[in-house]
Each structure stands twice: as structure tokens, then as C-alpha cells.
Amino acid sequence: MVTIILTIYVMGKRNQKQYFDSPTTDPLAKVSYQDLHNGTDGFSARNLVGLGSFGSVYKGNLASEYKVVAIKVLNLQKKGAHKSFVAE
């Protein structure tokens, strides 16, 4: 079973310090599966950014947040996937 875990990386010209120092931005904001599905056009291949040993990364547009994000889809059937994600 594939479990989706969202990791938000701001893409574009913002640097990481500006992103995390913003008082109105919650770096651990909850996002629904429906928002992820819509933001990636159903996890379509054209939004696939990369493949790794533990899953895939998609580019997504979160309309509710007005942000472009990276969405990591982990394959938790792979031994070590959870540990690798937490280490990131």
C-alpha cells in the first residue's frame, strides 16, 4: 500500500529562511488528499519530478495556499522508507 506524505518545499525564488520565518506560514500545515490529488492533476506523469528508491516526488499547486510544492509519495512496503523520510 502506498501512503502519501506531504513534504512542502517552496519552489521558486523564495529562500528557506523567508519561508519559515513568516508568521502566517505553518510549515506543518495539514493538507487533504483531495487537495494533493487536484494539485497534481491526479498524480499525473507530467507532474512527476523524480523517482527514488522509496517513492516518487510530484510538483503540485496548492490552490488553497497559493504555493507550488513538492509532494513525496512514499512506498511504505519498502523497508526503510519511513526512516528515510524522517531523516530528511
Is 72 annotated as belonging to a binding site?
A: yes
Query: How many DSSP H helices and E strands does the chain contain?
Result: 3, 4
Opening angle at CA 40, ends 31 and 11, nearest 5: 80
The answer to whether the beta carbons of residues 73 and 15 sit under 8 Å apart is no
List, as residue ranges, the binding site for ATP.
72
List, as residue ranges, the binding site.
72
